[in-house]
Amino acid sequence: MFGGLSGATVIDSLDTLYLMELKEEFQEAKAWVEESFHLNVSGEASLFEVNIRYIGGLLSAFYLTGEEVFRIKAIRLGEKLLPAFNTPTGIPKGVVSFKSGNWGWATAGSSSILAEFGSLHLEFLHLTELSGNQVFAEKATVRNIRKVLRKIEKPFGLYPNFLSPVSGNWVQHHVSVGGLGDSFYEYLIKSWLMSGKTDTEAKNMYYEALEAIETYLLNVSPGGLTYIAEWRGGILDHKMGHLACFSGGMIALGAEDAKEEKRAHYRELAAQITKTCHESYARSDTKLGPEAFWFNSGREAVATQLSESYYILRPEVVESYMYLWRQTHNPIYREWGWEGQGGLGEILSDRSRLLRDPGRVQ
């Protein structure tokens, strides 16, 4: 998905290494970026993945250190992504060819994905800031993407996940705050904050979207758990993906700038959603949450399909714990964080013992 670019983990981890004062490892990573991170590749790359991992990682490293190598590499890589925006609507395609500069899409036909084209604003604004080239901001912000999204009719104010970059119309009416939709909403509230609270368009789009989500997707289970369902042409799937569990933290983050009469409500909503996501961990045998969990047939916050019964180190639940802890200083969020850490540690410990003694059956 990176078009031949290497070192995604190295670059995505630069800011973490620096913040954790792992100085030797950071210098090793910096040297690798200087000497071995080459941009003369010719594969097909995911615009979204390259942006959030490479561009985001390089920008963070530059702002933390002021090291020019990170700024220069970020701008040059950003330039290689620009052909993805050469569509009739300005909505970028999901995949760009580094060889030809053309765009294409390998898996979703003629559709672009909301969470992908809606998660470029933060990085591309800073590419303009650091390069002086307005093309980055113009491509990824108001003049193209937001213009299309403002103009198009939205079912009940909801944003479906698939949009045609050719016609500018929705391809299907599937709405999710989890996978395919998630970071679109996150980037709206963060665009408002990053602008020094001057990007009122992002603010208005965020709160209007959140109101529609509350009205049409928010549910409370018979057992009292608050969750955000998925919407398929007016029919609800009473499930919540692990990816959607970032929303507790997002809603907490946005509560401060909501209308005064809504602030306490959003803080409570954030806490309730985060509690539900904790339950998806607490109700599993391993105390690690599944990829998706359902609310049906008397079962709540548990995976009901084998294809969703796995854990791949996703951060969304602990991310919400962190936001809620910082906002409330309620120790329960630290305790929940340790529970998840303990579940993972126990599994790794059991695996280690099993490897030492293969005859032992667990």
Which H/E stretch holds residue 82?
A: none
Residues with active-site annotation? 49, 182, 291, 316
Per the domain annotation, does 246 fall within a domain? yes
What local confidence, expressed as pLDDT, does residue 104 receive?
47
Q: Say yes or no to pLDDT of 297 above 90.
A: no
**For the chain, how many structural domains are there in total?**
1
What local confidence, expressed as pLDDT, does residue 353 receive?
60
Side chain identity at 176, as an amino acid letter? S
Per the domain annotation, does 351 fall within a domain? yes
Mark 254-292 as b/e (b = at least 16 C-beta within 10 Å). bbeebeeeeeeebbebbbbbbbbbbbbbebbeebbbbbb
Per the domain annotation, does 137 fall within a domain? no
Q: Which pLDDT band holds residue 355 (cuts at 50, 70, 90)?
A: low
Side chain identity at 119, as an amino acid letter? S
pLDDT per position as a tens digit, 298-317: 899 999 999 999 999 999 99
Per the domain annotation, does 186 fall within a domain? no
pLDDT per position as a tens digit, 40-52: 999 999 999 999 9
Which H/E stretch holds residue 103?
A: strand 103-104
Q: Say yes or no to pLDDT of 19 above 70.
A: yes
Per the domain annotation, does 317 fall within a domain? yes
Q: How confident is the model over 67-88, as a mean pLDDT?
A: 96
Q: How far does the chain reach from its first CA to its final CA, in angstroms?
A: 37
Q: How far apart are CA 46 and CA 235, in angstroms?
A: 31
Q: What range defines the domain where residue 347 resides?
A: 211-355
Per the domain annotation, does 337 fall within a domain? yes
Per the domain annotation, does 52 fall within a domain? no
Average pLDDT, the chain: 93
Q: How far apart are CA 116 and CA 51, in angstroms?
A: 9
pLDDT per position as a tens digit, 264-274: 999 999 999 99
Q: How far apart are CA 63 and CA 44, in angstroms?
A: 29
- Say what percent of the chain tops pLDDT 90: 87
Under 8 Å between Cβ of 173 and 160: yes
Q: Shortest CA distance to 112 belongs to which of 91, 96, 97, 90?
A: 91
Per the domain annotation, does 344 fall within a domain? yes
Q: How far is CA 173 from CA 89, 317, 328, in A?
A: 19, 27, 37
Claim: this prediction has a pTM higher than 0.75: yes
